[in-house]
Chains A and B, each alone.
Chain A
């Protein structure tokens, strides 16, 4: 029996996706322009969210969160989806998060920023309260990443038309 990855790769190639696989790690594939002005985040907030996004979901053999413009996607989502209360709450949570990580977090050397975020993440997932804002942002970054074409196809192995149900597949 084929593994899920083998099945997926076969499917991608069969639907003309060879070039898609070859394109991994190249340009982002979302319709958000870098030059577009911000609609929700301040410059400082964008820098914070961008740094966190990059550290959470870096470029590996597949594109990272920055490659697919996750921070700009969230900027648009917050502008269009959120109501006034949610917007205010998001700004407040980012302010708190910025204080927890320190003002210089966006410009820290990579290893230092990684250590700071790892420490925060560990605390947030150790049953401590007070990290709701971080966990919510982590969720939003992750969901947004997987909702992009690269995130869905290359990382989530999303298949538009599975065509069958296999209830038990070896990984």
Chain B
């Protein structure tokens, strides 16, 4: 008799969904979280006003050099003195990169993982995204099409709460939306001018995982509408944005089938060759260093694309000497992120006597048009732009003047600025890898990750072109003082959209998972974090992790009921 029906490794964006769905279907579920427990009432700092923050909420430079030398440069907009407990200390969680390469591995080890710190942009993949690999002969074909996953997008959107507008764009399917955050007057003007100048392009509201018309189901979990505070990186007392901690884990808990253990770092999965099943998990306690095991009937890996691949690589057996479920040799390959670097900003006139009230969580989104409505590109796939048009503001003090006039200018009318930044697709490449360091180990005895990730020509050309497109759109919108930044590609990993390390495919010889996120090799093993992504598309991927997790969980429960696993 197993300790639990199911074990879910990781409590973040996808692990929360796996746990919720498995619990709601009646399984006894253990969630293993490698980090500490986050208690919202104790650990969220979203209610702290500016004047209670220390030193303008800056982490001291010496402390950054000592503990946050990767995290802070990677996401300085989000890592602050008051919320630094949401980010790992780099010296405690080191990793390596191959010579000549760079990788930003930006993480939070605690209840709900990075679902607490994400930026909440939420988009479906479109039909073209599931078909592109096959049509273009890139990597392997997705074993899933849009119609397979669309009902599961519906399922997770209704529960999570997604604010957005129904835009009717085939490449960016609409979903089960709550009311979106209306565009500013300058954004409406920008939209009108850009869409007139470029008939195949659209400027729409960003779609974000924020509740704006709370449902009874959401209210029952203690969630309420977004208050437009823009304090999301500090937690949310209103539980208005989606995170595991605000939504899926409480839903799992109320079933009575849920157990979570913190500080449980997985060392390996235990495999029984005779039955060809995962039978349990070996963990080490992060604080006491004690090791122990838990057994289960079905296992979901939701440790993040990188950590899930590493756990498989650490789980060696006679049958799988190169890592569990790795007969294809694809575990730890095809790492993808999104690539940014291109963008532009400029001033838009005509709104000097207007301002905004409230601090919304998103802005504008320009869905992919390259190779969708425009086919003259020197690259394949495409990118979306995220941005906004808001009053320039001047709280940084970087305007001329002194005295009363300077002081009062901060509350006075002023120019508005449009800003857009590209998020591009990264093609899968088997040579972009995460592997285990042959000798270096962390303080819990687990091998260090070694990243070897680079961009290809397609990503470089695409971003260069995206930079030109950004300027052209701002010019068409009549912007002045347009500044286009030099296109320096973001470091791999910097967008924190980790994908591809145990890809789905139709053939067990060339992929790790089938279309249900089930390992080809080991039928009671499922991986539903970003590892399953066969290609990256250009949309922010969290919603896809949610939908595939929910779908896989139901499939696994069905297989268990049938006695098939």
The residues of A with any CB-CB pair to B shorter than 8 Å are: 4-5, 7, 29-30, 55-58, 60, 62, 64, 76-77, 80-83, 86, 114, 117-118, 121-122, 124-125, 135, 138-144, 146-149, 152, 155-171
Contacts and interface: CB of A to CB of B under 8 A. Distances in A.
A91 B70 CA distance: 28
B454 to A, nearest CB: 32
B229 A167 contact: no
Contacts of B412: 171
A7 B399 CA distance: 27
Range for the number of chain B residues in contact with chain A: 35 or more
B333 to A, nearest CB: 40
Interface of B: 47, 49-51, 53-56, 58-62, 65, 181-185, 187, 227-229, 353-360, 395-404, 406-408, 410-413
A121 to B, nearest CB: 5
Contact of B182 (A58, A152, A167): A167
17 contacts: A30-B51, A76-B55, A80-B54, A80-B55, A83-B60, A83-B65, A125-B401, A143-B397, A155-B410, A157-B411, A160-B49, A163-B228, A163-B358, A165-B359, A167-B187, A167-B360, A171-B413
Contacts of A171: 353-355, 412-413
B interface secondary structure, majority: loop
B356 A166 contact: yes
A162 B227 contact: yes
Given A5-B411, A76-B55, A125-B401, 11 more contacts: A57-B407, A58-B404, A77-B56, A83-B65, A118-B403, A121-B401, A152-B51, A155-B411, A165-B181, A165-B182, A167-B182
Contacts of A81: 55-56, 58-61
Contacts, number: 148
B403 A55 contact: yes
Contacts of A58: 403-404, 407
A60 B397 CA distance: 18
Contacts of B59: 81
Contacts of A160: 47, 49, 229
A58 B404 CA distance: 6
Contacts of A139: 396-398
A80 B181 CA distance: 39
A158 B355 contact: no
Contacts of B355: 4, 169, 171
Contact of B228 (A30, A86, A164): A164
B85 to A, nearest CB: 18
B398 A167 contact: no
A150 to B, nearest CB: 9
A56 B406 contact: yes
A161 B227 contact: yes
A146 B357 contact: no
Enumerate the 6 nearest inter-chain pairs by beta-carbon distance, A residue then B residue, closest first: A142-B397, A125-B400, A162-B358, A83-B61, A168-B185, A166-B357
A158 to B, nearest CB: 7
A164 B357 contact: yes
Contacts of A156: 395, 410-411
A148 B52 CA distance: 8
B65 to A, nearest CB: 7
Contacts of B185: 167-168
B224 to A, nearest CB: 11
